[in-house]
Amino acid sequence: MTVEYLDLADYVGIASEVTGLDEVVVGKIANLGLADSALHAPSAEFGGEEFYPDFVDKAAVLMVRLAKNHPLPDGNKRVAWVALRYFLLLNEWEWSSFPAIDEAEEAVLAVAAGEWDEKRTAQWLRPKVTPSTGHV
């Protein structure tokens, strides 16, 4: 399975939609280096060995790094949540059990507060998502 990763254009577009700011403004106020680092984390490898070979782990790493790297002055948790959802959609994964608003908010707040790391986030996410029907 080839994984499609988000890039800076995706990030700026998501951040623009979430914050209501123009993409040019987002590009000026965001620390794009921090965003880029977070976006590349799920695909990290060394010597041809992926650090996160499991897709759900990749998704968790994306959300955690975007929330914790804090590339925006405001809206990082919301952008991390939307980026996670877009990453799933882009790779033809779906929610088998979409979390209630309160549960999703608690999860994102736990990530941002440093209470949940990538492993804990993946544990929460794993039973909630599945590859779309027909996805290899």
User: pLDDT (tens digit, 9 = 90+) per residue, 24-60?
Assistant: 999 999 999 999 999 999 999 999 999 999 999 999 9
Give the count of beta carbons closer than 10 Å to the beta carbon of residue 53: 10
What fold, for 8-131? Answer: Four Helix Bundle (Hemerythrin (Met), subunit A) (1.20.120)
- In this model, does residue 135 exceed pLDDT 90? no
Prediction pTM value:
0.94
Listed by start position, the domains of the chain span: 8-131
Decide if pLDDT at 136 tops 70: no
Q: Are strands 129-131 and 45-46 parallel, antiparallel or unpaired?
A: unpaired
